[in-house]
Amino acid sequence: MTTTEAATAPLQFLRQRNLQAKSDAEREAILADPGFGQHFTDHMVDLCWSEKGGWHRPRVRPYGPLSIDPAAAVLHYAQEIFEGLKAYRHADGSVWTFRAEQNALRLQRSARRLALPELPVAHFLQSIEEILTIDEAWVPGAPETSLYLRPFMWAKEAFLGVRPARKVEYTLIASPAGAYFTGGVEPVSIWLSSSYSRAGEGGMGAAKTGGNYAASLLPQQEAYANGCSQVLFLDALEHRYVEELGGMNVFLVYGDGRLVTPATSGTILEGITRDSIIQLAKDRGLAVEERQVSLDEWREGVESGAITEVFACGTAAVVTPIAELKGADFSIVNPAVGSDSLTLSLREELTGIQYGRVEDRHGWMTKVTG
């Protein structure tokens, strides 16, 4: 935290309760089978920013449509960033977040790239506390379920000129999330995009911004058409090096105990799950290499048997084994992931920490309620 951060005074949120909040029975029905991103809690949090007034008007209010001018810059020039994190209910009923300050810092880095104002870490954490306090009952308790939190910041100023907006809004919504894998962890097939890139040198690849997702939708469609659930992108310059999936980072596991993952040097999103997996692997005494990873290395490693596992990771699905990488004219079938695999063992350890079943050695968890 910088000195200015430390000096950030706590916000006084204006709290407006939702008089049309879901009944207990309605909420329980949703929580019994929430899916992902389909249902939202009774409230949302927002903060305004203006060039003159800085961050102001902190509110908790009923979840509902935003009022937005048709000329708002976000609708025309996509000046928008977001975050994604989860709140977990532990066995004793308490509710916890996982490394939320890392999401706050990443939102600041994204803000810098998109010429948006930086939200102080303390304001970010306070907004999370506010939503989890008022909508605490929306945090599901079944195994592997969570309340997914979606903070986002968008250019609100009504002006069609191209320059950073002078009026911005930060909004936080929350959505209950079911277990990602219901019948046990299922390996996925992924599609190698040969015609499209996700990010280039000097672009926005390291920022969590809607524009990167917009760029991934067409290749994602191509992936579906080829029986794959995700798309893998290579570097935009040489089309040789593995970068990441549309919304997840990638790891190769060598039989000799090494974990290899593409280095995040500007075109790859710095996943907090990625960073946590690296730490947990190092804790086990495993060697972790963050460097360039070519498609050839992947292919040859699988062919020779040196690479024994490949997985993707991110907040939503945590850790997902990659069964196969398909392209227009090739396929790499990775080894099957056994129950004794490093992939599943790291997944178990990470979710164990998040749900309070495994000791939190690194101080990653923060108790918010209960």
Ligand X SMILES: *Cc1c(COP(=O)(O)O)cnc(C)c1O
Interaction site with ligand X (CB under 6 A): 84, 208, 212, 244, 247-249, 269, 271-274, 314-315
Shortest distance, position 42 Cβ to ligand X, whole Å: 25
Q: Closest CB to ligand X among 48 and 105?
A: 105
Shortest distance, position 214 Cβ to ligand X, whole Å: 12
Find, among 133, 103, 136, 137, the residue nearest to 121 by Cα. 103
Strands (E), 178-248: 188-192, 230-234, 242-245
Q: Closest CB to ligand X among 213 and 254?
A: 213
Counting beta carbons within 10 angstroms of the beta carbon of residue 338, is it exposed (0 to 12), middle (13 to 18) or buried (19 or more)? exposed
- Token readout for 273 is 């799950």
Q: Is 179 helix (H, G, I), strand (E, B) or coil?
A: coil
Q: Closest CB to ligand X among 105 and 158?
A: 105
Bridging pattern class, strands 80-82 and 146-155: antiparallel
Shortest distance, position 163 Cβ to ligand X, whole Å: 26
Using CA atoms, how far apart are residues 92 and 352, in angstroms rounded to an integer? Answer: 15
Q: How far is CA 285 from CA 50, 298, 348, 369, in A?
A: 49, 23, 17, 35
Q: Closest CB to ligand X among 42 and 197?
A: 197
Shortest distance, position 315 Cβ to ligand X, whole Å: 3
Length of the chain: 370
Q: Closest CB to ligand X among 40 and 98?
A: 98
Helices and strands in the chain: count of H runs, count of E runs: 9, 18
Shortest distance, position 67 Cβ to ligand X, whole Å: 28
Find, among 210, 221, 208, 305, the residue nearest to 264 by Cα. 208
Shortest distance, position 131 Cβ to ligand X, whole Å: 18
Q: Closest CB to ligand X among 58 and 246?
A: 246
Shortest distance, position 198 Cβ to ligand X, whole Å: 7
Shortest distance, position 159 Cβ to ligand X, whole Å: 28
Triad 108, 140, 277: Cα angle to 5°: 50
Q: Closest CB to ligand X among 295 and 318?
A: 318
Using CA atoms, how far apart are residues 99 and 295, in angstroms rounded to an integer? Answer: 32
Q: Closest CB to ligand X among 167 and 274?
A: 274
Q: How does DSSP assign 324-363, residue by residue? A: EEEETTEEEEPPP--TT-HHHHHHHHHHHHHTTSS--TT-
